[in-house]
Amino acid sequence: MSRHFAVRDIDWPLVLIALVLCAVGVLQIYSATLDTEFHSAWWRQILFVAGGWVLMLVIQEIDYHSLLQYVPGLYIGTVLALVATYAFGQSAFGSRRWIPFGPVHLQVSEFAKLVIILLVARYLTELRTEVLEIREMLKLAGLVLVPTFLVLKQPDLGTALTYLAVLVVGAFIAGLRWKYVAVIAVVTVIVLPITWTFVLQDYQKTRWRSFIDPERDAQGSGYQLIQSQIAIGAGGMFGKGVTKGTQTQLRFLPVPHKDFIFSAFAEEHGFVGVVFVLALFFVMVMRIVQNGQTASDPVGMYVCMGVAGLLLFHILVNVGMVAGAIPVTGIPLPFMSAGGSSIWSSFLALGLVNNVRLRRFVN
Amino acid sequence: MTLPPADPHLETARLSEKPPLRDDFRFAAGKIAVFQYVTVVIFVILVSAFWRLQVQNPQFYDERAVANSVKSVPIPGPRGRILDREGRVIVDNHASFSLRLARELLKEEHLRPIAQGLDLDYDDLVARVRRYRHRPKYEALPLKEELTPLDLAFVDSHRDFFPELFTIPSQRRVYPQNGMLAHVLGYTGEITEAQLDMPEFAKYDQGAVIGQFGVEQQYNEILMGQDGQRQVIVDNTGQVRHELKSKGAVSGKDLELTIDLDLQAVAELSLEGRNGAVVALDPRNGEVLAMLSHPAFDPNKFAVRIRAADWKEIRDNPDKPMLNRAIQAQQAPGSTFKPTVALAALESGTIDEQFNVHCAGGAYFYGNYYRCHLKGGHGTVNLHRGIVQSCDTYFYTVGNMVGIDKIAYYADLVGFGHKTGIDLPNEKEGTVPSPQWALRNYHRKWYAGETISVAIGQGALTVTPLQLARAFGGIAMSGVWQQPHLVQTAKPEKPVTWNLDPVHVKDVVDGMFGVVNEWGTGTLAQIPGLQVCGKTGTAQVESSDLAKATGGVASQPNAWFVGFAPCYAPEIVVAAIWDHGAEGPYVAPIVRDILKAYFDKKARLTMLRQQQSEDAARLAAIGRLDLPGPSGPQ
């Protein structure tokens, strides 16, 4: 299996789009952290991107079939690392997410996403049935829920939800019976809101809220959301220009180089810039799906669809959040938000897609 | 729960039970298509959300972004001080900080720690926030005035926790204690909703602090400074990043009153504990040397924002502390009107000073018996004795002979029935009744008996203490009535003058000299070595408006005394009224105190000046030092 692949076989449009998004991100980080203590973030981000590029090249060389063999070990290692993070991790902004690793602080939960993708792909492939029985589905869900729960307790609701997104996309493609889909849909759309509104008492709601998302009140999400919407709206059609957005520069916008980087970008580059970046993300998701469609076997397809679902979920939650379409949940925007773990896991995910693509022709 | 085994050899052992691993995934093609459609829908929704925010409503969010970062910081222009005639400070400013709450940044759960940190009542704070709920968000809630250093430290050290708190510098008025001069000085207050709708207040902004009473109101234009403004860019913690533009503040001008604080203090002490009013004028130029009204209020309570309980207490007080009795109490003058009637009789030629009336304790007019205050009667009374003894019978007779028209004419001449024009808001004019007055106001005929009442200062006749002081001063000045005023203006009003016969003036003034010095009704006003003139008055209050309003039918009569000195070259005239003080003579000591204080001070200053000029002369003679000439008030 250790065949060497030609450089031209890499999905160049895909990685070029990723690099353009990274460039836009670095520019925005530069602008958003001007005159602040975080100003070194822009060149650190460049280093992270370079490192991510190397990681991508490395991982695409290892045949994904061999990677899948290590899934039990990777899974157990991830769970242990998450427990270790929870027990000894670095505390920042009221949550424990990072463990120190040389000069950088690794966020284990970011890399756990990739393990979840591989886990779901392997598990669903080995079922070998046309439909996913509810019993198997619950077993897989149990496996995914262990790291999800650990991340939720960090607490980091946004990242925890990404694991479920991968699970849902995988289960859907594996052929979860429509009646189960219908039951899950009915429960989420009708039963939960009714219970929430009419059955639960206020103090119970507060308890649930603080269980699911303890950051919500501490950070004053209402204020963040309003400031984010003002920033986006003030950008108008063409934006205020780099380093000219008042919401970003005067720091009315919370963490404008991380979770709220897209509102900072929208303020300084306007609707035109927003459409440009969203178009890049759209093409990116679609190309990943296409790589899934041309994979040589189902497990490759599951890997690609897992990456596509993960990316789509990140975009939906982050961009939807800053626009006020969905509740505030801390989650980075892939390739753009400042942070090594996020960049590296994003490039590793791209590496997985390339990995599948390079081996699409069955001999 | 365990994973399916990863070892391919183990896998093959169970191959027979399970279908083979598939290498095609046509089964998934439909699902992948669904995923693609969902992706398209999600991106369409995201783009449309940004379209709605960025393109449909460009103004709305832009304005809010500006409102976030551009703040106007007022620079207070301090109000001018108020000084007395010798430049002593009566009203000053006290610089302080006041705390505001930016409601758009407020978080409910912050209220309790804020209330604790600033020693505010939590429930009261919540109620105030709730009351502001319907106001626009950008309007800050005034949280606390007069911040202590402790409060400031709390706000400074919690800037990151409570970004909604911000301080602005403010100036507060400091008035004298115990309500001294309260009615003259007045107070300042925030411009009211009602005033904002009036055209004359159009130049003031909402929230402006303007004079609302007394001199503060009358001379607001001079006293009021102009607030400057800095437009600055602030960041999310309220730190100023840079300044856009700034407009300097302009201080208000100091205002010097004609009030002499020494005399005012004497007058306040003299009237202390009694309801009434005192006005001291310089009849030579109309300067008000002292003016007070009791009971007074404390303007300091209005200086920031009067508490509801304090306002209720003032408003419900039956003694009406907000009434400036010196210019607003319209009371029957009683016998203090008699010098005016005497002057009218002499000037109109109705009688001469030798005219006699026999007083047997009263007399019949138009079928009714009118009593003199002295039951046994004064016997034969001429003009001089009539004034000295304040004989009612004499003035009934003379008034009846002069007639209401001429009495009204001379009453109007000396200044009754119309405002003196003093520079204070809301002066009252009093009433001079006459046949025309009766017809105009009540559509009735004049009853001849009313003339008899008016002749002794009763009936419908009402005056203010200021009018009385001005009238007496003008008569003593032989017919020059200066316009009373509290502030020296560049172009003083011309006095009202009338060519009074000096002989007649002397007859009347002699009578008033007798009141004080010839065992008349005002002997308590005597000052050894000084020619004091005056007239007492004991006025029934049944007819007065104030008495009716306060329901004081059965109350004691008002006690009046008007005095001036020296008799033939008056420098000061003082009118005093003691509400329900029973008898005019009882109020004479108040006037005496003020006159004495005036002349004592004058003597002291003369001595001091003499001493100074002697010292200067001696030093100049020695030749060591060349001092300038004597200084000090002339």
Q: What was the pLDDT predicted at B14? A: 47
Cβ pairs A/B, distance under 8 A? 161
**B15 shares contact with chain A (CB less than 8 Å):** no
Is a pLDDT exceeding 70 seen at residue B424? yes
Residue A65's SS3 state is: helix
Q: Does A129 touch chain B (CB under 8 A)?
A: yes
**Phi/psi of residue B594, nearest 5 degrees:** -70, -45
Q: CB A323 to CB B49 under 8 A?
A: yes
Q: Based on the domain organization, do B278 and B212 belong to the same domain? A: no
Q: A72, B57: Cβ pair inside 8 Å?
A: no
Please provide the distance, in angstroms rounded to a whole number, between the alpha carbons at the two ends of chain B.
110
Quote the radius of gyration of chain B (alpha carbons, Å).
39
pLDDT of residue A93: 56
Domain of residue B563, residue span:
261-602
Query: In the prediction, which pLDDT does A248 show?
Result: 81
For residue B6, the chain A residues in CB contact (below 8 A) are: 69, 71-72
User: Is residue A211 very low, low, confident or very high in pLDDT (cuts 50, 70, 90)?
Assistant: low
B21 vs A126: CB contact, 8 Å cut-off? yes
The contacts of residue B345 (CB under 8 Å, 6+ apart) are B351, B355, B383, B398, B399, B401, B402
Where do the domains of chain A lie? 10-358
pLDDT band at A351 (very low <50, low <70, confident <90, very high): very high
Q: Which of residues 146-185 of A touch B (CB under 8 A)?
A: 169, 172-175
- Establish if B317 belongs to a structural domain: yes
Confidence at residue B634, expressed as pLDDT on a 0 to 100 scale: 45
Q: How confident is the model at residue A2 (pLDDT cuts 50, 70, 90)?
A: very low
Coil, helix or strand at residue B202? coil
Measured between CA atoms, how close is A103 to chain B, in angstroms? 30
Q: Which of B247, B297, B296, B303 is nearest to B274 (CA)?
A: B296
**Residue A279: pLDDT over 90:** yes
B631 is catalytic: no
Tell me the nearest-neighbour CA distance from A166 into chain B, angstroms: 12
Asked if B613 and B629 touch (Cβ cutoff 8 Å), the reply is yes
- Among A209-218, B437-446, B534-543, B596-605, whose mean pLDDT is lowest? A209-218
Q: Between A227, A233, A281, which is nearest B54 by CB? A: A233
User: How big is the CA angle at A248 (ends A245 and A249), to the nearest 5 degrees?
Assistant: 80
B41 to chain A, closest Cα gap in Å = 11
Tokens of B189: 């207050």
Tell me which residues of chain A, numbers 210 to 269, contact chain B at a CB-CB cutoff of 8 Å. Answer: 220, 223, 227, 229-237, 246-247, 250-252, 266
- Residues of chain B with Cβ-Cβ distance to A323 below 8 Å are 46, 49-50, 53
Looking at chain A, the number of H-run helices and the number of E-run strands are 16, 3
> Do B23 and A297 lie within an 8 Å CB cutoff?
yes
Catalytic residue among B170, B270, B293, B335: B335
The per-residue pLDDT for range A136-186, each reduced to its tens digit, is: 888 998 999 999 988 887 778 888 889 999 999 999 888 877 777 788 777
Whether B169 shows a pLDDT value over 60: the answer reads yes
Nearest to B46 among A174, A297, A320 (CB): A320
Inspect the interface and report whether the beta carbons of B105 and A362 lie closer than 8 Å.
no
Q: A362 to chain B: which residues are within 8 Å by CB?
A: 23
Assigned domain for B345 exists: yes
Residue B453 and residue B406 in one domain: yes
Number of domains in chain B: 2
Residues B552 and B517 occupy one common structural domain = yes
Contact: A312, B6; criterion CB under 8 Å: no
Same domain, B218 and B132: yes
The answer to whether residue A75 neighbours chain B at the CB level (below 8 Å) is yes
Neighbours of B529 (CB within 10 A): 6
Minimum mean pLDDT range among B109-118, B131-140, B465-474: B131-140
Tell me how far apart the alpha carbons of residues A246 and A265 are, in angstroms, rounded to a whole number. 12
Which of these, A238, A239, A264, A241, lies nearest to A251 by C-alpha position?
A264
Question: A233–B62: do the CB atoms touch at under 8 Å?
Answer: yes
Q: What is the pLDDT of residue A34?
A: 86
Of B226, B256, B286, the residue that ends a domain is: B256
Q: Which helix H or strand E contains B97, and what residues bound it?
A: strand B89-101
Residues 191-250 of B with CB under 8 A from A: 233-237, 241
In Å, how far is A47's CA from the nearest CA of chain B? 30
B69 touches chain A (CB under 8 A): yes
Q: Which residue of A has its CA nearest to B4?
A: A123
* Cβ neighbours of A250 in B, within 8 Å: 68-69, 233-236, 241
C-alpha Rg value of chain A to the nearest Å: 21
Question: In this predicted complex, what is the ipTM?
Answer: 0.91
Q: What DSSP element (H or E) covers B173?
A: strand B165-174
Q: Which residue, among B155, B400, B180, B378, has the nearest Cα to B271 in the 3D structure?
A: B180
Within-domain flag for B624: no
Tell me: do B240 and B360 sit in the same domain. Answer: no
B62/A236 touch (CB, cutoff 8 Å), yes or no: yes
Amino acid at the residue B361: G
A206: distance to nearest CA of chain B, Å? 14
Those of residues 601-630 in B touching chain A at CB distance below 8 A are none
Residue B266 buriedness (CB in 10 A; 0-12 / 13-18 / 19+): buried
Q: Say yes or no for a CB contact (<8 Å) between B22 and A298.
A: yes
Chain B CB contacts of A174 under 8 Å are: 28
- Mean pLDDT score of chain B: 86
Q: What CATH number corresponds to the domain at position B222?
A: 3.90.1310.10
Contact B233 A250 (CB under 8 A): yes
CB contact under 8 A, A266 and B18: no
Among A232, A303, A361, which would you mutate to test the B interface (most chain B Cβ atoms within 10 Å of its Cβ)?
A232
Chain B residues within 8 A of A309 when measuring between CB atoms: 35
Confidence of residue A276 (pLDDT cuts 50, 70, 90): very high
Query: What is the tens place of the pLDDT at every residue in A215-231?
Result: 454 445 566 777 888 88
pLDDT confidence bin for B436, thresholds 50/70/90: very high
Ramachandran bin of B119, using left for φ above 0, alpha for ψ from -120 to 50, beta for the remaining angles: left
Q: Which of B200, B231, B256 is the last residue of a domain?
A: B256
Helices A298-322 and A108-125 sit at what angle, rounded to 10 degrees? 140
Neighbouring residues of B486: CB distance < 8 A, sequence distance ≥ 6: B184, B215, B257, B258, B259, B288, B291, B422, B423, B424
d(CA A252, nearest CA chain B) in Å: 5
Q: Do B62 and A123 touch (CB under 8 A)?
A: no
Inter-chain CB proximity A173 and B31 less than 8 Å: yes
| Inside any domain, residue B122 | yes
Tokens of B498: 């009338």
Contact A233 B51 (CB under 8 A): no
**Residue B397 scores a pLDDT above 60:** yes
Query: So what's the pLDDT on residue B584?
Result: 65
Residue B499, in any domain of the structure: yes
pLDDT, one tens digit per residue, over B596-615 is 999 999 999 999 999 999 98
Inter-chain touch B39–A285, beta carbons under 8 Å: yes
In a domain, B52, yes or no: no
Residues 6+ apart with CB under 8 A from B262: B597, B601
Residue type, position B124, single letter: D
Region A118-143: mean pLDDT is 86
Closest approach of A173 to chain B, Cα-based (Å): 5
Instruction: Please give the order of strands across the beta sheet that includes B276-282.
Output: B287-294, B276-282, B572-578, B558-565, B533-539
Any alpha helices (H) in A294-339, and if so which ranges? Answer: 298-322
On the question of a cis peptide bond just before residue A155, with omega within 30 degrees of 0, the verdict is yes
- Measured between CA atoms, the residue of chain A closest to residue B58 is A236
What residues 310-329 of chain A have any CB closer than 8 A to a CB of chain B? 312, 315-316, 319-320, 323-325
H helix or E strand, kind and range, residue A185: helix A178-186
Quickly state the pLDDT bin for B543 (edges 50, 70, 90): very low
pLDDT of residue B146: 78
Using a CB–CB cutoff of 8 Å, tell me whether B33 touches chain A.
no
| Closest CA relative to residue B282, chosen from B476, B88, B429 | B476
- Between B23, B32, B39, which is nearest A312 by CB? B39
Q: Which residue type, as a one-letter code, is found at position B498?
A: W
B168: alpha, beta or left? (left if phi > 0; alpha if psi -120 to 50)? beta
Instruction: Please report, for the domain that includes residue B485, its CATH number.
Output: 3.40.710.10
